[in-house]
Amino acid sequence: MDSTQAGGVIAYISSSSSASSPDSCHSDSSNSSYQSCSPPHTASPSRRQGQPGETRPVAPQSRPPRHSGGKARSPSAAKSGITKMNGLVLLCKVCGDVASGFHYGVHACEGCKGFFRRSIQQNIQYKKCLKNESCSIMRINRNRCQQCRFKKCLLVGMSRDAVRFGRIPKREKQRMLLEMQNAMNNMMENSHGNQPLSVYNQTPPLSADSPSSRPSSTSPQSNRSESSPDPEPPISMDTSSDSSGAMDIGEEEVIGTVTSAHQETFMYNQDQVNVPSEAPDNQGHFTKVWNPRVDTSSTSNQNSLSSCIAQVPQGSSQPYSSVCTIQPACQNVPTATYSAPTCARANRMHLVCPMNTSPQVDPQKSGHSIWEEFSMSFTPAVREVVEFAKRIPGFRDLSEHDQVSLLKAGTFEVLVVRFTSLFDVKERAVTFLSGRKYSVEALRSMGAGDLLNSMFDFTEKLQALNLGEEEMSLFTAVVLVSADRSGLENVNSVEALQESLIRALRSLITKNHPNEIAIFTKLLLKLPDLRSLNNMHSEQLLAFKVHP
């Protein structure tokens, strides 16, 4: 977007004038009439500060397609003054960068101002445009074609005789304000409608200007970058540093315990992706059928959870709703898909869930039975999660209520993580319970929707981190204790538990990937993604229940 060319108007800035409350803005700042807080140490002597927007890039990695790189910052307006009116930041009418004032008759950035000055001072004749003399002029490409830039300057009205000296006449200021208001109102009006983007390119409200505006052109694009693309500088600071280095004794234990808990309660993991050619319906009830291995370790778990958790799978439909969907039903074949309940390819709503037996619905079955079957299919996995939770050091010390709450809220997220191995990123396919593998496209055509896509994306990114077993285990534990906390009785203890697990995870990663501590950060950033998946899932499930 970059709206760039918008006419001159633009950007909202804040200006608070009243300073009533001292507190926050500590910065010094101040000049009243201008904006609010200013940057902290501004030392600059005589300038007003305010930094304009600059944009800078920094982009980490790039993707080749469009050059990734980065974009660049916006230059102008640096700190000096940016012109604004009541909080509005004006943009350069030529290139869309932040304007530094009213130059040669139009609001323009320092760059365009200088460019225009030079152009008229020395009677420069720029060399001909290499294209059609209609290059778009935006901040990032304004230096690519002088002829077109100059043309644009003239087009928007820059002229030596359009200069205005001295302070802005009050009257004019008022008029401007008014215009802006109108523009804004318009904006809002249309905004009622919906189409997001369309509006986007349309014009600038602002009056007159924007002559040239073509649609704006070209494309937005590009990405930024500047500096740091790399995955992380060798040393660098970072999170890990805080720990002093050495790993805490307790941490080792936590790591070990969590890891074995994970391994012993997770049977659907990678190695089993050997498609079992057949494996017809497997579950009868659930347990018995689904997996032999449950026994030993899994089965026996009942302890504290048993009481609590036992209920999870069983009781209120709630548990299901919060947890359910994802799940491969049988031990070797995970499944995965997801579709919007609304799809109804098959003439009937159907949850194309990755953990389902199959993405298709048997038209014969009644809605109720489908739902039931579906619910049961993931029960085993849910139980595994519960078992896993119980073995997380400290988890059982939480109140039963909180244990249940966390499980209700977090099981789905844990399952998503656990089933990472079930998604074949390379082939972009997912294996279902039936043992069949379906390509994402196929699933989409069957009605799978956003959730599936999102899960795929998530899985892909997670797999890309190439975590080891221990890391996966710890991460899984973190995911669980980081589940939604609303309704918890004792948030603090959960937080404490979370902290210890996080610490262990960090140490582990620091140890295993000394040069890529960013992995830790990336993992933490997966948490919000999981939360989103959880929500999408809940919504679909709800819809599914309503319209089976």
Partner DNA sequence: GAATAAGGTCACCAGGTCAC
Partner DNA sequence: GTGACCTGGTGACCTTATTC
Q: Residues interacting with DNA, by CB under 7 A?
A: 27-36, 39, 42-52, 56-59, 74-80, 83, 100-105, 109-115, 117-118, 120-121, 124, 142-144, 146, 160, 163-173
532 binds a copy of itself (CB under 8 A): yes
C-alpha dist (Å) from residue 332 to 335, 425, 436: 9, 18, 11
Comparison of 96 and 380: residue with beta carbon closer to Zn ion: 96
Q: Provide the minimum distance between the beta carbon of 6 and Zn ion in the complex, in angstroms, as a whole number.
A: 12
Q: Is 145 in the site for Zn ion (CB under 5 A)?
A: yes
Q: How far is the CB of 362 from a copy of itself (least distance, A)?
A: 23
Residue 476 phi/psi, 5-degree rounding, is -60, -40
Q: DSSP strand E in 97-244: where? A: 101-103, 106-108
Interaction residues for Zn ion, span 38-97 (CB under 5 A): 92, 94-95, 97
| 137 near Zn ion, rule: CB under 5 A | no
**Residue 537 binding: pick among Zn ion, a copy of itself, DNA, none (C-beta 5-8 Å cut-off by kind):** none
Footprint (CB under 5 A) of Zn ion, residues 98-127:
109, 112
CB 218 to a copy of itself: min, Å: 11
Please give the size of the binding site for a copy of itself, defined by CB under 8 A.
Answer: 274
Q: Which does 435 bind (CB under 5 to 8 A by kind): Zn ion, a copy of itself, DNA, none?
A: none
- First CA to last CA across the chain, in angstroms? 41
Binding region for Zn ion (CB under 5 A) out of 131-139, 335-343, 476-484, 493-501: 131-139
The structure tokens listed for 158 are: 């820059």
Establish if 138 lies at the interface with Zn ion (CB under 5 A). Answer: no
Confirm or reject binding of residue 143 to a copy of itself (CB under 8 A).
Answer: yes
The 3 state secondary structure assigned to 62-88 is CCCCCCCCCCCCCCCCCCCCCCEECCE
> Could you tell me which residues are beta bridge partners of residue 423?
430
Query: Exposed, middle or buried by CB within 10 Å (0-12, 13-18, 19+), for 95?
Result: buried
366-371 long-range CB contacts below 8 Å, 24 or more apart?
Answer: 367/548, 368/548, 370/548, 371/544, 371/545, 371/548
**Cβ contact 62:222 at 8 Å:** no
Q: How far apart are the C-alpha atoms of 421 and 267, rounded to whole Å?
A: 12
State the burial class of residue 242 (Cβ atoms within 10 Å of its Cβ: 0-12, 13-18, 19+).
exposed
Binding range to a copy of itself, per CB under 8 A, among 85-93, 126-134, 349-357, 422-430: 85-93
Helix (H) or strand (E) holding 505, with range, is helix 491-512
Q: Kindly tell me which of 36 and 357 has the beta carbon lying closer to Zn ion.
A: 36
Give yes or no for a contact between 47 and 35, defined as CB atoms under 8 angstroms apart.
Answer: no
Task: Name which position in 1, 124, 130, 208 contacts a copy of itself (CB under 8 A).
Answer: 1
Residue 41 burial (CB count, 10 A): 8
Interface region with a copy of itself, contact rule CB under 8 A, candidates 76-84, 340-348, 357-365, 437-445: 76-84
Q: Which of residues 240-259 bind a copy of itself (CB under 8 A)?
A: 240-242, 244-251, 253-254, 256-257, 259
Surface-to-core class of residue 467, CB atoms within 10 Å of its CB (0-12 exposed, 13-18 middle, 19+ buried): buried
Applying CB under 8 A, which of residues 28, 30, 81, 86 lies at the interface with a copy of itself? 86
Q: Which of 31, 300, 369, 439 binds a copy of itself (CB under 8 A)?
A: 300
Residues forming the site for Zn ion (CB under 5 A): 92, 94-95, 97, 109, 112, 129, 135, 145, 148
